[in-house]
Every structure is written in structure tokens, then in C-alpha cells.
């Protein structure tokens, strides 16, 4: 594929000074002006709140084109992976940027399966926390606590990092399930090595020691799909948090614990929970979808439309298209009908035909439909973001590992434009 040509340098005029800055071109044609020497040459910095125009790293993991609605993991379209791959295979793909051979996949599946158990002493951490605490806070604490169980002496090695990566991928479902079991006062369920990744998670969530629990294969397949779609999404808030913390030399567990906290925010991973709460408010308030959308357009109404629009996508989120069909498939296979899906479809139809939403490029995003599937699977609403974190785990780990091997990586240290008081003299309290 022929990429558009770009100049090799960009000229910047700053007062009576003109400097040349190198231009970089990514493998998909993205153009970036390298400003690393800007301050040294001019004394000036750039100002970019939210860093929406700033490339903080070079990466080979995920490509995202928000204008065209394209998402690829290491070159593979998300639509193809969702249809043909598995979450465990996608883990390997993100970690290595290559699909595994049959033998590699078999060994990796074995390793992830046989590292799922938690140290028995870690149970005390869950039991020491209030049952009413949000499970994301519990998961962040438990992942951070893994650092105390897997301490290292001396400099880390690639082999040690890989072992920690496998441990974290394997143990995150167990941590998530334990956080849920603790919140409802039920005994923890040990993982089962005879189950696949998604099935094991559902077993630990919903099984109990009193009776045999059979995992519904439709549920497991739907969950596997959700995890694939959540696996990575370029330099979003939580991923950049993991990279930032990792840039300080912090270990993998500490870095990912910070990422979990970032994902917890309602503007990030917590959005799918807010979508369900919005749909339920429409249902329970006896308000029509049209009335709700009219209020969403009215300034000062206090009504917010959740699950539409995206910081990066200015087109239909490709993950939302996949999940929209998955909603039909899952509910159809389960023989269930959810009025929330009917409300969601009506909201989508209105948004796609209303100039207000079209002009603002407010298309459904992945959060809009994922909550409906989680609800159909019986996942409690406050666990939605935890399941998002399980899915995002291989992306976070891949990004952390990539940063550790980047020869140009430096500790993250943004600049600021100071707008406070200039130099002042201190005066004693009785003279102020």
C-alpha cells in the first residue's frame, strides 16, 4: 500500500527565529512533528490540554483511525479477530504482535490456566475490606498487593517480566470473581483447570460449593467476544497511565493497579455502567426515547446521552457494530427479550437520523451495547467495569512491556504553563 508522502522537516517561525523540526511518518501514514528539541532551541513548549494532539510514544501494538472507524490489533482488523479468534490468542497477539503457532498457543493456554490460583494469604485482603466497597477499588488493591507476593531482588529481566505478565493475565479473573463473592458474602470459588478462560471466570463468579455449576457455552462465547473487543485501544487514559507509572521503574503490578483506577472513572471504563443506568431510567420513568433525546439536546436539562460519541472515533465505533449484532445473537440464543435493547435501538435510530447528533458525530460507541450483553449474562452492574479491566489487561501489559524495551523511553514528565502569582515576599502572620 502506497502511503502519502510527507516533508522530511517542518519549519517553525518563532519571533525572528526559524527552526526545522524532523517529521516522522508511521506505518499507516500518520504524520508527527518531532518537537523533542523545541524547548532547547527556542525556550518554548507546546500547550495541548488532554494531549489530544501529542504522540507520546511509538508503538507496534494497536492502530486506530477514528475518522474511518478502523481498529486493528498488530495489523489484524478487529472484525476478523472477533469472528475467528479467541481472547487467549488475542492476548498472545498483543504481547508479541504476531499470531501464535499451534504449539505456542497450546503452551501459552496451559501457562495462563495453571497460574490462576491466588496465594491463600491474599484472601485476607479481600476479607478486610468493606463489602459495600466498589469492586474496582478492591481489584486495584489486590493487583497492587501482588507486588508483595512476587518481590524481586536486583534488576528485572525480560524473563521475569514475562512470568509476571502470565501471572497477571491468569489471576485477574480470580481477583475479579473474589471481589464479587466478597461483596455478596459467598465463599470464594477456586479456579478450574479444565475450563477455558471465559468459562472459568463465569464459574468463579456464579458457582458455589453446594452444587455443580455448568457454564452456559453461549454465555462463555459472548464473554470471550467482549474481552476481545476490550483488549486494547491505543493510548487511552488508562493505558497511558500504565505507561506513565511504568516509566518511573514501577513494577508491572503497581503500574496496572494504577491503570485499573484510571479505568474506573465514569468518563472512561465506567461509561458502560452509566449506559445501562440511563436505559433503565428511560424505562422506569415511562419516558419515550424521543422525549429523552429532545431533553439531551436541551441545554440545562440535566439529561446526558451516554454511550454516544468518542474522544477518538468520529465515525461509528467498529466495536459497537460487532456488539450490536452480538446483542441479537446472545438474546436470541438465550431465548430472552430485553426491553433495554429495544430502547437502545430506538435511541440509535433517532441519533443517526437527527441533524443535531449527526453534525456532532455522536455515533454509538462500544459502551452503548456492551452493558446490555453483560446484563444478559447476569453480570451485576457494578462489575461491568471490572470485566472491562479483565479485557483490557493484555493491552495494558503489552504496552508496559513495550515501554520497558523502548530505547528512547524516558520517565514521563509533562511541562506546564504557569499562570499563578509572580515572586512575592513572605510576611509574618500578624502583618498580612
Cα–Cα distance measured from residue 94 to residue 255, given in angstroms and rounded to the nearest whole number: 18
The dihedral sign for the CA sequence 168, 224, 320, 337: negative
Among 392, 398, 399, 49, CA closest to 244: 399
For residue 250, with 0-12 CB atoms within 10 Å meaning exposed, 13-18 middle and 19 or more buried, which class applies?
middle
119 secondary structure, DSSP code: P
Q: Contact 93/76 with Cβ under 8 angstroms?
A: yes
Does 310 qualify as catalytic in the annotation? yes
| Cβ atoms 207, 191 nearer than 8 A | no
**What is d(CA 201, CA 374) in angstroms, rounded to the nearest whole number?**
13
Instruction: Name the grid cell of 344.
Output: 437502545
Distance CA 246, CA 102 (A): 32
Take residue 72 and report the three cell numbers written for it.
486493528
DSSP state of 431: G
Helices and strands in the chain, H and E counts: 18, 6
Is 233 annotated as catalytic?
no
Closest-CA residue to 172 (of 197, 194, 154): 197
Please tell me the distance from the alpha carbon of residue 97 to that of residue 427, in angstroms, as a whole number: 60
- Strand order through the sheet with 70-73: 62-65, 70-73, 76-77
Catalytic residue among 164, 224, 232, 367: 367
The catalytically annotated residue of 233, 310, 338, 354 is 310
**Edge-to-edge strand list for the sheet holding 31-33:** 9-14, 17-25, 31-33
Give the number of other Cβ atoms within 10 Å of residue 144's Cβ. Answer: 19
Torsion sign, CA atoms 346, 347, 353, 354:
positive
Catalytic residue annotation? 310, 367
Amino acid at each position: 500500500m502506497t502511503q502519502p508522502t510527507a516533508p522530511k522537516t517542518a519549519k517553525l517561525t518563532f519571533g525572528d527565529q526559524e527552526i526545522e523540526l524532523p517529521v516522522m511518518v508511521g506505518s499507516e501514514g500518520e504524520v508527527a512533528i518531532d518537537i523533542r528539541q523545541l524547548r532547547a532551541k527556542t525556550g518554548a513548549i507546546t500547550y495541548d490540554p488532554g494531549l489530544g494532539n501529542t504522540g507520546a510514544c511509538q508503538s507496534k501494538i494497536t492502530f486506530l483511525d477514528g475518522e474511518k472507524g478502523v481498529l486493528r490489533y498488530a495489523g489484524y482488523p478487529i472484525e476478523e479477530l472477533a469472528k475467528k479468534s479467541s481472547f487467549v490468542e488475542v492476548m498472545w497477539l498483543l504481547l508479541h504482535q504476531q499470531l501464535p503457532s499451534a504449539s505456542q498457543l497450546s503452551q501459552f493456554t496451559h501457562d495462563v490456566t495453571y497460574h490462576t490460583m491466588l496465594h491463600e494469604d491474599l484472601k485476607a485482603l479481600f476479607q478486610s475490606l468493606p463489602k459495600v466497597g466498589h469492586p474496582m477499588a478492591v481489584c486495584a488493591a489486590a493487583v497492587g498487593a501482588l507486588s508483595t507476593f512476587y518481590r524481586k531482588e536486583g534488576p528485572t529481566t525480560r524473563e521475569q517480566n514475562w512470568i509476571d505478565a502470565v501471572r497477571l493475565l491468569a489471576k485477574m479473573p480470580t481477583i475479579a470473581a473474589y471481589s464479587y463473592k466478597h461483596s455478596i458474602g459467598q465463599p470464594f470459588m477456586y479456579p478450574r483447570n479444565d475450563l477455558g478462560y471465559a468459562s472459568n471466570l463465569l464459574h468463579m463468579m456464579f458457582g458455589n460449593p453446594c452444587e455443580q455449576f455448568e457454564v452456559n457455552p453461549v454465555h462463555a462465547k459472548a464473554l470471550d467476544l467482549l474481552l476481545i473487543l476490550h483488549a486494547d485501544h491505543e493510548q487511552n487514559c488508562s493505558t497511558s497511565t500504565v505507561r506513565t507509572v511504568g516509566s518511573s521503574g514501577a513494577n508491572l503490578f503497581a503500574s496496572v493497579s494504577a491503570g485499573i483506577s484510571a479505568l474506573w472513572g465514569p468518563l472512561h471504563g465506567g461509561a458502560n455502567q452509566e449506559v445501562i443506568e440511563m436505559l433503565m431510567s428511560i424505562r422506569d420513568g415511562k419516558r419515550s426515547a424521543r422525549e429523552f433525546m429532545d431533553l439531551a439536546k436541551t441545554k440545562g436539562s440535566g439529561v446526558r446521552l451516554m454511550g454516544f460519541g468518542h474522544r477518538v472515533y468520529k465515525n461509528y465505533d467498529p466495536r459497537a457494530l460487532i456488539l450490536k449484532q452480538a446483542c441479537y445473537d446472545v438474546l436470541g440464543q438465550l431465548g430472552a427479550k430485553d426491553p433495554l435493547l429495544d430502547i437502545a435501538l430506538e435511541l440509535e435510530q433517532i441519533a443517526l437520523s437527527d441533524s443535531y447528533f449527526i453534525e456532532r458525530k455522536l455515533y454509538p460507541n462500544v459502551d452503548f451495547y456492551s452493558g446490555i450483553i453483560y446484563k444478559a449474562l447476569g453480570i451485576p452492574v457494578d462489575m461491568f467495569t471490572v470485566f472491562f479491566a479483565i479485557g483490557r489487561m493484555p493491552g495494558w501489559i503489552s504496552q508496559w512491556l513495550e515501554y520497558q524495551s523502548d530505547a528512547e523511553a524516558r520517565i514521563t514528565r509533562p511541562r506546564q504553563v504557569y499562570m499563578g502569582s509572580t515572586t512575592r515576599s513572605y510576611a509574618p502572620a500578624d502583618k498580612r
